[in-house]
């Protein structure tokens, strides 16, 4: 069993990504500790998930054999910035030379200030002509929305969607840019009623036509409603994708997603691979990973949370308990067995509650 201290170290290594791994524009208001649900630990979050099955999708897929955990894993959930894995995969699978440079203006035109948790400001990009590889790493490591949108614009949404289909993501929504999504929030009153393909078409058109400087965002309650209609996928398919990448992905894609080991020597010593990407939107938190402890087989995990009550969301953003849960599910056999028992209980025993309530 992996000691909890290792899980904590990995969680800290991932914290920088979680704090900026976001497409959200407004952070939830802080809540008092007395009002906050007990979700600040992996155990507490697991219990909360077991009682709110409509809010969660969880899939744990070892290197060999069937899923160890499948809880709401076939329901579609908003992905938030986790969708950037698709852009990365499509680009690295192409014949594109990632050392190519692009004008910084080709990136800045997608930047909407105040909507990415400071990710764009902290991205390590050449000030005049960043390389495509720099954009990839910015999109994955700090979840720079502008970098991801610039890459999507370069390779094209059809290429990304085709790559996703080749990877077996049959229920995956078509990709669209964050800039277009934010523009649609205030320009398309029917946004949530469109089919996924129509949302993608409209978001791509808006990203072409609406300057980033003209984007405004609605109030937080409205953001939460709109975020539920973001690009969606299932935990089951994403766990399969992460296992496929972790075991047989092209070297550039693996290296890009394996950034936690580059950032932390301690993580690099303890893991042969640690591929990870997370994302947030108001009411939405997602995590996908392929975790391979040194000398052991790997495990893929997809954890999708949606329609989170503000109290729960605020605690998770502060504690990163969702990341600690992913690590424990992937590395701690005894914890995984407890998770299976917790999540496989009959609904009455779990104490299921209506969706969206804490």
Q: Quick one: pLDDT at residue 64?
A: 86
Q: Quick one: pLDDT at residue 344?
A: 83
The pTM of this model reads: 0.90
Q: In what order do the strands lie in the sheet with 56-62?
A: 69-71, 56-62, 299-305, 284-293, 271-281
Eight-class DSSP state of 175:
P
How many Å apart are CA 317 and CA 319, to the nearest integer?
Answer: 6
Q: Quick one: pLDDT at residue 14?
A: 45
Q: Quick one: pLDDT at residue 65?
A: 84
Residue with tokens 């899923």: 67
Report the chain (358 residues): mean pLDDT per 10 consecutive residues: 38 40 51 64 97 97 93 97 98 96 98 93 95 98 97 98 98 98 97 98 98 96 97 98 97 97 96 98 98 97 97 96 98 96 72 45
Q: Go through 173-185 and write b for each residue having 16 or more CB atoms within 10 A of its CB, e for each that does not.
A: bbbbbbbbbbbbb
Retrieve residue 107's tokens: 């990136």
Q: Quick one: pLDDT at residue 143?
A: 96
Nearest residue to 164 (alpha-carbon basis) of 224, 218, 277, 85:
85
């Amino acid at each position: 069993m992996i000691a909890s201290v290792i899980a904590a170290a990995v969680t800290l290594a991932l914290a920088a990504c979680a704090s900026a791994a976001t497409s959200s524009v407004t952070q939830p208001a802080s809540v008092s500790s007395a009002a906050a649900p007990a979700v600040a630990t992996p155990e507490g979050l697991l219990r909360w998930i077991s009682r709110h099955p409509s809010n969660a999708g969880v899939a744990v897929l070892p290197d060999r054999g069937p899923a160890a955990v499948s809880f709401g894993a076939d329901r579609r959930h908003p992905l938030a910035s986790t969708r950037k894995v698709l852009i990365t995969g499509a680009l690295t699978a192409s014949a594109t030379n990632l050392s190519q440079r692009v004008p910084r203006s080709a990136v800045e035109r997608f930047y909407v200030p105040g909507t990415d948790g400071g990710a764009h400001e902290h991205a390590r990009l050449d000030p005049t002509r960043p390389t495509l590889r720099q954009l990839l790493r910015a999109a994955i490591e700090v979840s720079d929305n502008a970098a991801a949108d610039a890459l999507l614009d370069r390779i094209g949404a059809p290429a990304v969607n085709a790559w996703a289909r080749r990877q077996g993501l049959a229920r995956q929504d078509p990709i669209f840019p964050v800039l277009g999504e934010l523009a649609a929030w205030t320009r398309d009153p029917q946004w949530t009623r469109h089919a996924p393909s129509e949302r993608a078409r409209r978001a791509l058109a808006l990203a072409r036509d609406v300057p980033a400087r003209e984007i405004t965002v609605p109030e937080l309650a409205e953001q939460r409603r709109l975020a539920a209609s973001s690009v969606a996928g299932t935990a089951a398919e994403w766990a399969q994708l992460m296992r496929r990448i972790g075991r047989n992905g092209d070297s550039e894609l693996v290296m890009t997603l394996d950034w936690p080991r580059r950032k932390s020597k301690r993580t690099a010593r303890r893991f042969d691979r640690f591929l990870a990407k997370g994302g947030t939107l108001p009411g939405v938190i997602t995590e996908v990973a392929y975790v391979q402890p040194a000398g052991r087989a790997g495990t893929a995990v997809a954890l999708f949370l949606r329609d989170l009550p503000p109290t729960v969301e605020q605690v998770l953003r502060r504690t990163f308990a969702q990341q600690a849960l992913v690590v424990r599910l992937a590395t701690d056999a005894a914890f995984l067995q407890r998770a299976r028992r917790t999540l496989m209980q009959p609904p009455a025993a779990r104490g299921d509650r209506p969706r969206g309530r804490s």
